[in-house]
């Protein structure tokens, strides 16, 4: 497949970008919200806005800011305490952005999303139209996870992933991840002073995932979630840059095409919106173990998955749930929405489709997973 790979020129040509600012940076390493730094990022976003670039901001910092306001020294581990800290801190965040954008006569809108908002197709479409409307009205949406209502089971957890999903949603040209390092290094610079900056790479390069480590005490994701976010963003054709938010005018310089930070390029042609939505689903409820023939037709022809190619069914899932399709060695091949629940799937596994009626007493669909609801997964995912 020939597909032009966007590079830094995608930034200077970019009309729509998602900017994500991480916790470590926003709170100046735990010293409360860094209002002066927030003012500088807002000034840059306002400059881009004046040039006609649409910017959506994904801002972390609610929990870290709340901790400081409540006088807590360490990030709590109890969910209800995290929720409380986020509720207190989110107010401070909103206030700070609102005041700084008001200096530029730009309106902001607070959007708090949960995993469910993007995994339920109807809510996903609602979120999309609300965000589009705001962007069209030249309002800058400020997005964060709705930490006060999420539990561990259903959280994005890190805002890198949320930023990538927002970039997918809006089909942004670029995802700019601002953090407290200059970019992705070939080893964690906190532990290895000789680590070198990686200027550029392919979003799906497994070597990058291998060098990306965990985050600091305040944030959650570290570099590994940033590399994963780049891979997610690449699905809609967005380039990702990981760069230092401490570098003066970093956003405007990046959007001028200046070489800063780490640029991660998409290599595949963008997936269609529905497939992207499918691919972005994080919660997998069960697993179908495929035989070699099924693996081959899924990979090479993008065919529907028939029950005859399924060796084993694992987990508990219902019709419409997301399942992982793995080969017999356990390697992920595809993800898709099951046409049958786990019990039915167990009964028809290994059987040709014409026997489904005799086995179950009814036919829900000929395939176990229809190709429209199936996304073949690349090696590193």
Ligand X SMILES: Nc1ncnc2c1ncn2[C@@H]1O[C@H](COP(=O)(O)OP(=O)(O)O)[C@@H](O)[C@H]1O
Ligand Y SMILES: N[C@@H](CCC(=O)OP(=O)(O)O)C(=O)O
Partner whose footprint covers residue 190, from ligand Y, ligand X, none (CB < 5 to 8 Å by kind): ligand X
Token pair belonging to 282: 């994080």
* Using rule CB under 6 A, residue 23 touches ligand X: yes
From edge to edge, which strands make up the β-sheet containing 374-376?
310-315, 286-290, 322-326, 332-337, 374-376
DSSP-assigned states of every residue in 119-131? HSHHHHHHHHHHH
When the beta carbons of 6 and 61 are compared against ligand Y, the nearer one is 61
Please list every residue from 129 through 188 that binds ligand X, using CB under 6 A. Answer: 179-181, 184-185, 187-188
When the beta carbons of 18 and 24 are compared against ligand X, the nearer one is 24
> Of all residues in this chain, which one has the CB nearest to ligand X in the complex?
22
When the beta carbons of 22 and 141 are compared against ligand Y, the nearer one is 22
> Are 59 and 26 spatial neighbours (Cβ–Cβ below 8 Å)?
yes
How far, CA to CA in Å, does 23 sit from each of 63, 93, 104, 311? 8, 11, 24, 45
When the beta carbons of 221 and 266 are compared against ligand X, the nearer one is 221
Question: Which of 211, 308, 360, 380 touches ligand X by CB under 6 A?
Answer: 211
Was 179 annotated as part of a binding site?
Answer: yes
Please list every residue from 217 through 236 that binds ligand X, using CB under 6 A. Answer: 219-223
Distance between CA atoms of residues 208 and 49, nearest Å? 32
120 Cβ neighbours under 8 A, 6+ residues apart: none
260 Cβ neighbours under 8 A, 6+ residues apart: 182, 183, 241, 243, 244, 247, 250, 253, 254
Helix runs in the chain, H state only: 9-12, 23-26, 35-50, 62-70, 79-103, 115-119, 121-136, 159-170, 206-211, 222-234, 250-255, 273-279, 292-301, 342-348, 356-360
Residues that bind ligand Y (CB under 6 A): 22-23, 60-64, 86, 144-145, 147, 158-160, 215, 219-221
When the beta carbons of 64 and 313 are compared against ligand Y, the nearer one is 64
> Of all residues in this chain, which one has the CB nearest to ligand Y in the complex?
219
Was 159 annotated as part of a binding site?
Answer: yes
Partner whose footprint covers residue 211, from ligand X, ligand Y, none (CB < 5 to 8 Å by kind): ligand X
Partner whose footprint covers residue 229, from ligand Y, ligand X, none (CB < 5 to 8 Å by kind): none
When the beta carbons of 206 and 320 are compared against ligand X, the nearer one is 206
Name the minimum Å distance from CB 349 to ligand X.
41
Was 12 annotated as part of a binding site?
Answer: no
* Using rule CB under 6 A, residue 57 touches ligand X: no
Question: Which of 215, 237, 266, 341 touches ligand X by CB under 6 A?
Answer: 215
Token pair belonging to 78: 């109890």
Distance between CA atoms of residues 218 and 220, nearest Å? 7
Was 120 annotated as part of a binding site?
Answer: no
Partner whose footprint covers residue 45, from ligand X, ligand Y, none (CB < 5 to 8 Å by kind): none
User: First-to-last CA distance in the chain?
Assistant: 20
Was 275 annotated as part of a binding site?
Answer: no
* Using rule CB under 6 A, residue 25 touches ligand X: yes
Closest CA to 68 of 116, 33, 34, 41: 33
Instruction: For residue 280, give the 3-state DSSP assignment.
Output: coil
Q: Which residues are annotated as a binding site for substrate?
A: 60, 147, 159
Binding site for ligand X (CB under 6 A): 22-25, 60, 179-181, 184-185, 187-190, 211-216, 219-223
């Amino acid at each position: 497949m020939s597909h032009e790979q966007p590079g830094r020129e995608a930034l200077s040509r970019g009309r729509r970008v998602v900017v994500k600012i991480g916790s470590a940076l926003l709170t100046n390493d735990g010293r409360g919200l860094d209002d002066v730094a927030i003012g500088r990022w807002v000034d840059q976003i306002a400059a881009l806005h004046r040039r006609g670039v649409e910017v959506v901001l994904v801002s972390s910092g609610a929990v870290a800011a709340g901790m400081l306001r409540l006088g807590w020294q360490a990030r709590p581990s109890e969910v209800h305490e995290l929720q409380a800290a986020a509720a207190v801190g989110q107010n401070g965040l909103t206030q700070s952005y609102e005041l700084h954008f008001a200096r530029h006569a730009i309106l902001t809108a607070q959007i708090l999303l949960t995993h469910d908002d993007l995994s339920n197709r109807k809510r996903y479409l609602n979120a999309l139209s609300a965000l589009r409307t705001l962007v069209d009205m030249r309002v800058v949406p400020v997005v964060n996870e709705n930490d006060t209502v999420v539990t561990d089971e259903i959280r994005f957890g890190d805002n890198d992933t949320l930023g990538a999903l927002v970039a997918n949603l809006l089909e942004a040209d670029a995802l700019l991840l601002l953090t407290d390092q200059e970019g992705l290094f070939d080893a964690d610079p906190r532990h290895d002073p000789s680590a070198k900056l990686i200027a550029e790479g392919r979003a799906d390069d497994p070597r990058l995932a291998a060098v990306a480590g965990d985050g600091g005490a305040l944030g959650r994701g570290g570099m590994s979630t940033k590399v994963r976010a780049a891979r997610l963003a690449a699905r809609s054709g967005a380039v990702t840059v990981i760069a230092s938010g401490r570098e003066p005018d970093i956003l405007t310089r990046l959007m001028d095409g200046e070489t800063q930070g780490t640029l991660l390029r998409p290599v595949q042609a963008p997936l269609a919106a529905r497939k992207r939505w499918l691919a972005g689903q994080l919660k997998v409820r069960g697993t179908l173990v495929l035989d070699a023939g099924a693996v081959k037709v899924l990979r090479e022809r993008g065919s529907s998955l028939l029950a005859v190619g399924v060796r084993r069914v694992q987990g508990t899932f219902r019709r419409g749930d997301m399942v992982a399709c793995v080969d017999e060695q356990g390697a992920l091949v595809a993800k898709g929405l099951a046409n049958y629940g786990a019990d039915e799937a167990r009964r028809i596994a290994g059987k040709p489709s014409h026997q489904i009626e005799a086995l179950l007493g009814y036919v829900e669909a000929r395939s176990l997973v229809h190709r429209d609801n199936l996304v073949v997964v690349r090696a590193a995912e």
